[in-house]
Amino acid sequence: METLIEIISKQQEGHENTAVFMVGEQLKDIAASDPKCLEILKQDIEVDGMGIADAEKEIKKYADKHKVGGRGNSCFCVSPMIADGILREFYKLPAREETQKSQTSGKKPNESGAKLSLLDFM
């Protein structure tokens, strides 16, 4: 994880308080939540055309396509969940649902399905 954070931080330099910087932060969160995503991002993020600025352009395309209004007042904010989906598609990462399922299916605190009660331990 440290290697990916270093790569992203380097790409964020000079982009503080911008959408590019925020993309880097969101990618750090995605990588921290799923080892598969971490490995894919480590391989792809330094490839030409796959940096955080390139990923931000994909989110901007979505925002531009969905903005409403006119005369310079038009604006569209992309929610974190939509941005997550765009980033996962851009980097070919597993869907969030797959990530969550794999994380919960690996945890088997009570394989029998029986409910536990604190009274059982008294």
* pLDDT for res 103: 59
* pLDDT for res 45: 97
pLDDT tens string 49-89: 999 999 999 999 999 888 876 655 556 789 999 999 999 99
* pLDDT for res 68: 74
In this prediction, residues 10-37 reach a mean pLDDT of: 96
Q: Is the pLDDT of residue 90 over 60?
A: yes
* pLDDT for res 76: 73
In this prediction, residues 94-104 reach a mean pLDDT of: 71
Q: Let me know: does 27 contact 83? Beta carbons within 8 Å.
A: no
Percent of the chain with pLDDT over 90: 65
What are the beta bridge partners of residue 55? none
The residues near 52 (Cβ < 8 Å, ≥ 6 apart) are: 8, 11, 12, 15, 20, 23, 24, 27, 45
